Amino acid sequence: MKKTVMMLGVLGFLVVFGSVSCAGHGQLKAFPDAMEGMERFVIVLPEKAKGEEEASMVELMAGKVMMTDGVNLVRLGSAIEPRPLTGWGYTYYEVTGSSAMMSTMMAAPEGAPQVEAFVMGTPLKVRYNSKLPIVVYAPEGYEIRYRIWKASETVSAAEKK
């Protein structure tokens, strides 16, 4: 009898906490694995209070950590583009374009050390939505970084002229 109660308790614990741990990624099953030569990155956003999500945006940045001269502005020729997930109504994002590095041409001071920096292509801002993961497919060697933008509570009126 005690063994049965103990087994039911353990089973109940696994069912409750197992489903909670998978709940944040339940929608991830809809997104396919990365194709050859690509990697899949997943961002799961924390839930915010009502009204806060509408006032927030997520900036997605795709890039690589590279050595730069620390003086010139450097960027990649890539961009992040939204794509529809056929049959689901969801959106995923794909890094497209050239991974060639572009730079301004200012002369660095003689003997200036090389600096390791995150060099990115054109970023993309998307709506904050904690109910779905943000899935980005990028070529191997890329990193995906993101930051959260929040709207100011101050709303200003424009002048008529």
Per-residue pLDDT tens over the stretch 39-96: 999 999 999 998 899 999 999 999 999 999 999 999 999 999 999 999 999 999 999 9
What does the pLDDT read at residue 132?
94
What does the pLDDT read at residue 71?
93
What does the pLDDT read at residue 142?
98
11 in helix, strand or coil? Answer: helix
- Checking if the pLDDT of 131 tops 80, the result is yes
Residues in the chain: 161
**Burial of 53 by CB count in 10 Å (0-12 exposed, 13-18 middle, 19+ buried)?**
middle
Label residue 156 by pLDDT band (50, 70, 90): very high
- Checking if the pLDDT of 5 tops 80, the result is no
User: Which homologous superfamily is 31-150 in?
Assistant: Ecotin (2.60.40.550)
Angle at 147 between CA 37 and CA 98, to 5 degrees: 35
Label residue 19 by pLDDT band (50, 70, 90): very low
